[in-house]
C-alpha cells in the first residue's frame, strides 16, 4: 500500500512513520509540504500517487489558536481542504485526524460519532469546520477523532508533569475535566489498521478508560516513583485562553466495529514510562 503522511515530524507522525515502515511510505513534514500551499500539496500527492493519505499535520496549540484564529483556520481547515481536493483528484483515500474539541463537553456519557458538533474554542471550531467540508469533498473520508495525546519526541502532559514533579514538592492539576489519555504508539497502530481496512466515516480512537487531568497526573507521579504531592484544583482556579470541554470521553463503538481494541490508558502510561519518558 502506498501511503502519504502529512505531519511526519509531529508527536503522532513519528510513531506513524515507525508503524507504516512496511508500506511504501512518503513521509512529509511541514517543511516538505505546507498545507496552506495548494500547489505544493497537489504536487506531492500527484508525485507519490498514494492509495491512502493520512493527515496528522495541524496547528495544535489550543491556546495559541485563540489569538491566531486566521492561522488556525488556514492550517486546520483550509489546509485540510487542500489535501482533500488533491486526494479526490488523485483517487486516494484520506484519513483525517480530528479531536474531542469538536464537542462542547456538556454531555455526561461517552460521545458517539452521531453527536452534534458544538466546539467552544477556535481550535475545535477549525477542526469541526474541516470535518464538515471534508465530508462534502470526499464522502468516503475517514475522520479519526482522538484526545489527550501523549508520546515521545515532543511536548506532552506526562513529560510536563514529570519535569514539574522532579523539582517541586507539590503541583496543582485540574480535576473537573474528564477525557481519555491516548498514547501515540497505540493510536498509530490503530490508524494503520484503519488504513489497511479502507475505513470510512467518523471513528473515535482513544485508549480505553477515562480520568481527569488530576487523576492522570497522580498516576504519572506514582508510576514514576516520585513523592511529589498532587493537589486537585478547578478549571476556574487555573484559567486558560481556550475553553476546554469539561467532559470529552469518546465512545469506542465506531472503532470496535472494525474489530480494533485499544489498551487501557493506565497500561499505555506504563509502557510510555518504561520506554523512556524523555526519549
How many other CB atoms are found less than 10 A from the CB of residue 212?
18
The owner of cell 488556525 is 72
Separation of alpha carbons 277 and 271, rounded Å: 9
Rounded CA-CA distance 61/56 in Å is: 14
Closest CA to 101 of 130, 74, 79: 130
Whole-number Cα distances in Å, 115 to 103, 144, 199: 8, 15, 20
| Contact partners, residue 253, CB within 8 Å, separation at least 6 | 112, 113, 204
**Phi, psi at 63, each rounded to 5°:** -70, -40
Positive or negative torsion for Cα 268, 270, 276, 279? positive
Looking at 123, 214, 247, 272, which residue is catalytic?
Answer: 123
3-state secondary structure 38-57: HHHHHHHHHHHCCCEEEECC
Strand partners, 250: 111
Q: Could you tell me which of 253, 265, 242, 205 has the C-alpha nearest to residue 104? A: 242
Distance CA 237, CA 116 (A): 29
Residue 111 is a catalytic residue: no
Residues recognised as catalytic = 123
Amino acid at each position: 500500500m502506498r501511503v502519504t503522511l502529512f505531519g511526519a515530524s509531529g508527536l503522532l507522525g513519528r510513531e506513524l512513520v515507525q508503524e507504516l515502515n512496511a508500506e511504501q511510505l512518503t513521509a512529509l513534514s511541514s517543511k516538505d509540504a505546507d498545507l496552506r500551499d495548494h500547489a505544493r500539496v497537489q504536487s506531492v500527492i500527484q508525485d507519490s500517487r498514494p492509495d491512502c493519505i493520512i493527515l496528522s499535520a495541524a496547528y495544535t496549540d489550543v491556546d495559541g489558536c485563540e489569538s491566531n484564529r486566521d492561522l488556525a483556520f488556514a492550517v486546520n481547515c483550509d489546509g485540510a481542504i487542500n489535501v482533500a481536493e488533491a486526494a479526490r483528484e488523485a483517487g486516494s483515500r484520506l484519513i483525517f485526524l480530528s479531536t474531542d474539541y469538536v464537542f462542547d463537553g456538556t454531555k455526561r456519557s461517552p460521545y458517539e460519532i452521531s453527536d452534534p458538533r458544538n466546539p467552544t474554542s477556535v481550535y475545535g471550531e477549525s477542526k469541526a469546520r474541516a470535518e464538515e467540508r471534508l465530508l462534502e469533498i470526499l464522502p468516503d473520508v475517514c475522520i479519526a477523532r482522538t484526545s489527550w495525546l501523549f508520546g515521545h519526541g515532543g511536548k506532552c502532559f506526562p513529560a510536563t508533569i514529570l519535569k514539574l514533579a522532579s523539582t517541586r514538592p507539590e503541583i496543582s492539576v485540574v480535576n473537573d475535566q474528564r477525557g481519555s489519555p491516548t498514547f501515540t504508539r497505540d493510536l498509530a497502530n490503530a490508524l494503520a489498521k484503519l488504513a489497511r481496512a479502507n475505513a470510512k466515516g467518523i471513528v473515535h480512537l482513544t485508549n480505553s478508560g477515562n480520568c481527569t487531568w488530576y487523576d492522570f497526573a497522580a498516576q504519572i507521579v506514582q508510576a514514576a516513583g516520585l513523592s511529589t504531592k498532587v493537589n486537585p484544583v478547578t478549571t476556574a482556579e487555573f484559567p486558560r485562553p481556550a475553553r476546554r470541554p469539561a467532559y470529552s470521553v469518546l465512545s469506542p463503538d465506531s472503532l470496535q466495529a472494525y474489530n480494533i481494541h485499544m489498551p487501557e490508558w493506565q497500561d499505555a502510561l506504563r509502557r510510555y514510562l518504561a520506554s523512556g519518558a524523555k526519549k
